[in-house]
Chain A
C-alpha cells in the first residue's frame, strides 16, 4: 500500500517536472518550423568590417531593422536588447545584436556607430547602398513606409520585429515588438544552452 502510494507520488512528480521543463524550454518568441538558414546579409558594418551573419556563427544573433532618426520604436527596441545583454551577465558574450538601417540615405557607418554605442558599444549596425538595403529588407519581409513633411524632411515607418538567429545560423524565432527584457533573457538562455 505504502509502496503503491510512493510510486504514484513519484510518477506525479515526474509528470509535473516534465511539464515544467516543457514550459521552460518553450520560447516566448514566435517559432519557425522547420528551422531554415537565415537569409545572409551583404552589407557594411558600422565597425568598419563587411557585415555578414556568417561573421557571428557560434553566437546567437538578434537582428532588427530600424534607423537612427527613429523617435518611437527603435530607442525602445535597442534599450530592451541592451537591457537583455546586461541581465545575461557573463553569458552576454554569446549574443550579438545586429541593427540594419532602413534609411540608407541618412545612416552611414559613422552615424550608426555613434547611435548604437549610446545603447551598447557591442551592437553592430548594418549600412549599405539603397539597393543593398532593399535586398536585405526583402529577404526578411521588412516593410518600410515613408512620410514626407511639407519642409521636405521625412520619417519612416518600418517592421519592428526582432529576428532570433541561432548559433548555427538558422532563423529560429521572431520576437514581435513590445516584449520586455525578461522575455529576451528567457529565450536567449534557452538558445545559448541548447
Chain B
C-alpha cells in the first residue's frame, strides 16, 4: 500500500472516529419534547365521502427524555376519539409518557382505527445515541 493511499485511509478513519465520537458522546437535544399531530378540519367529512384520510402513522415512536409527549390537536368540526379520550372540536390532548413500553390505542382519526405508540428508553450509552441519531437521520431522509 503506498503512502498516499495509507494517508487517505487514515484521514477517512479519523473522520469516521470523530463523527462516531461526536454522535456517541454528545447528548441529544431536541427543541421540544412534544411530538405533535393535527387532525385537520373536514377530516370526518372527507372520510364519510370515501377519502382514505391518513393523519397519523400506524406507529409513532417516542423516546423518553427526548420526545416523550404526544400532542394531538383536533381542528375538525366533530369530536375525535384518540385512545384514552374524546377530543372536542378545537381541543388538544397532551399525553406525557414516563415508561418505555408499547401502547395500543383506539383512534378515530386513524383510518384503521388503531394506533401503536412505541416509547423507547432514553439513549444514554454512546452506542444508543449513535443508533438513535442514525435512525433519525435515515427517517428524515426517507420522507
Interface residue ranges, A against B (CB under 8 Å): 26, 28, 30-34, 36, 139-141, 143, 159, 161, 163, 174-177
Contact = CB atoms under 8 A, between A and B. Distances in A.
A32 B88 CA distance: 9
B94 A30 contact: yes
12 contacts: A28-B96, A28-B98, A30-B94, A32-B85, A32-B93, A33-B94, A36-B88, A140-B86, A159-B106, A163-B85, A174-B93, A175-B84
The 5 A-B pairs with the shortest beta carbon distances in the complex, nearest first, are: A141-B86, A161-B84, A30-B95, A141-B81, A174-B85
Interface in B94-138: 94-96, 98, 103, 106
B44 to A, nearest CB: 14
B41 interface: no
Overall SS of chain B's interface: strand
Contacts of B103: 176
A30 B85 contact: yes
Interface in B73-96: 79, 81, 83-88, 90-96
A145 to B, nearest CB: 10
B7 to A, nearest CB: 48
A186 to B, nearest CB: 11
Contacts of B84: 30, 159, 161, 174-177
Contacts of B81: 141, 143
B85 A33 contact: no
A159 B82 CA distance: 11
Nearest to B92: A33
**Max count, chain A CB within 10 A of own CB: residue among B86, B91, B93, B96:** B86
A176 B92 contact: no
Given A141-B81, A174-B84, A176-B84, A30 B93 contact: yes
Contacts of B92: 32-33
Nearest to B81: A141
Given A141-B79, A141-B81, A159-B106, A32 B96 contact: no
Nearest to A183: B98
Contacts of A140: 86
A25 to B, nearest CB: 13
Contact of A143 (B88, B98, B106): B106
A32 B87 contact: yes
B67 to A, nearest CB: 16
A139 B93 CA distance: 17
Given A30-B84, A141-B85, A176 B91 contact: no
Nearest to B98: A28
Contacts of A33: 91-94
Contact of A26 (B79, B90, B96): B96
Nearest to B94: A31
B91 A36 contact: yes
Contacts of A139: 86
A175 B103 CA distance: 13
A190 to B, nearest CB: 14
Given A30-B85, A140-B86, A161-B84, A176 B106 contact: no
